[in-house]
Amino acid sequence: MEDLQQALAEIHLIRNQVARGTQFRGYGPRCIAFTGLLALSVAYGESLWSTHVRHGLTVSVMIWLATAAISLLLSAVDTVRRARRVHVDLAEEMLQSAAEQFIPSLAVGALLTVVLLRVVPDDGWLLPGLWQIIFSLGIFASCRFLPRLMFAVGFWYLAAGLCSVIVCSGPKVFLPWTMGVPFGIGQLLVAAVLQIGVEKIPEGE
Amino acid sequence: MTALVTHSHGLTFNELKNLCALTDGNLNRHLQVLEEAKLVVTAKIADRHRRQTCCRITALGRKKYVDYLAVLTQVLNDAKAREAGDAAAKGAQGAITG
């Protein structure tokens, strides 16, 4: 019985190693592009609304947390379905690797939001920039298993995050377009890189 | 195959020889068979002014290897279940005779 257990453990180890050396193709370009368009639409809607009704930081944060939650849910469902279809036998290992790389940045972003809003709510205008910088770290962590061009998208989010901090530091307010433009264009770039990457890989890779 | 599948960028002939603990002739023969089956590809590369043979697993090779691991896992799980069943039956028989 012990020999069988050991053999199964070794196979599990090999499968994990194979998964680590395989490009992850679970992220769907269409779904990612949709989240980008959603970010642009929400920014447009919020900027129109804010010209008629003045709303505070909490409302803005809630709007964007809801947008992020919808995008995450859609992406997660699409990624799981796609990974099971594309990676078949290795799907679970590949999904686990992808989650291990990206989820820490989401968790850091969520915790930072809670702490910032509770401890220094007046500095909530920093959130768009910080979210983009943290998101860039998630992309950099995932780059190893994605098309090489994804590195450039990581730089986009990093640069956009730093620019957002600079732009928002003047009026010290949460500006809708500092969320909409970076995430809208960023997600469209991710979708484009995934689309190009997928096309370059022969079927069955 | 295990060495190649865990190194997606490929391995040189010498690296593969050391990992598999095989002789040149033996490894050559293995690679020839795998290449004929389109499971691996070999290519000559120039590295530090000397030419080396680089071996890489193909998409088909990776797929076949993962399929093989799935079958192997199934066989081992079946054997484990049978062994557990035998042990339970022996225990029950012991309790009846005792």
C-alpha to C-alpha distance for B63 and B58, rounded to whole angstroms: 9
Comparing CB atoms, the residue among A1, A17, A204 nearest residue B83 is A1
- The type of residue at A120 is V
B40: exposed, middle or buried (Cβ count in 10 Å: 0-12, 13-18, 19+) = buried
Residue A118: pLDDT band (50, 70, 90) is very high
At residue B55, the 3 state secondary structure works out as strand
Tell me if A205 and B62 make a contact (CB, 8 A cut-off).
yes
A15 contacts on B by Cβ (under 8 Å):
66, 69
Best residue in B57, B69, B75 for a mutation probing chain A (most A CBs within 10 Å): B69
What pLDDT does A152 receive? 95
User: What percent of chain A stands above pLDDT 90?
Assistant: 60
Residue B48: partners with Cβ closer than 8 Å, 6 or more residues away: none
pLDDT at A77 over 80: yes
B8 contacts on A by Cβ (under 8 Å):
21-22
What pLDDT does A200 receive? 54
Give the residue-averaged pLDDT of A166-192.
Answer: 90
C-alpha to C-alpha distance for B36 and A64, rounded to whole angstroms: 56
A11 contacts on B by Cβ (under 8 Å):
69, 72-73, 76
Max mean pLDDT among A180-189, B19-28, B59-68 falls in: A180-189
Give the residue-averaged pLDDT of B53-61.
Answer: 87
Tell me if A11 and B76 make a contact (CB, 8 A cut-off).
yes
What pLDDT does A198 receive? 67
Tell me if B69 and A17 make a contact (CB, 8 A cut-off).
no
Q: Out of A17-26, A108-117, B24-33, which region has the weakest mean confidence (pLDDT)?
A: A17-26
Q: Is B71 on the interface with A (CB under 8 A)?
A: no
Tell me if A22 and B8 make a contact (CB, 8 A cut-off).
yes
In contact, B9 and B1? CB cutoff 8 Å: no
State the nearest Cα–Cα gap between B60 and chain A, in angstroms. Answer: 7
pLDDT at B15 over 60: yes
What pLDDT does A163 receive? 94
What pLDDT does B98 receive? 62
State the nearest Cα–Cα gap between B27 and chain A, in angstroms. Answer: 21
Element (H, E) at B47: strand B40-47
DSSP codes of every residue in A51-91:
HHS---HHHHHHHHHHHHHHHHHHHHHHHHHHHHHHTGGGH
Tell me if A15 and B69 make a contact (CB, 8 A cut-off).
yes
pLDDT at B42 over 90: no
pTM for the full predicted model: 0.78
In contact, A43 and A179? CB cutoff 8 Å: yes
Q: What is the mean pLDDT of chain A?
A: 89
State the nearest Cα–Cα gap between B76 and chain A, in angstroms. Answer: 6
Residues of chain A whose C-beta is under 8 A from some C-beta in B? Answer: 1, 4-5, 7-8, 11, 14-15, 17-18, 20-22, 88-90, 202-205
pLDDT at A202 over 80: no
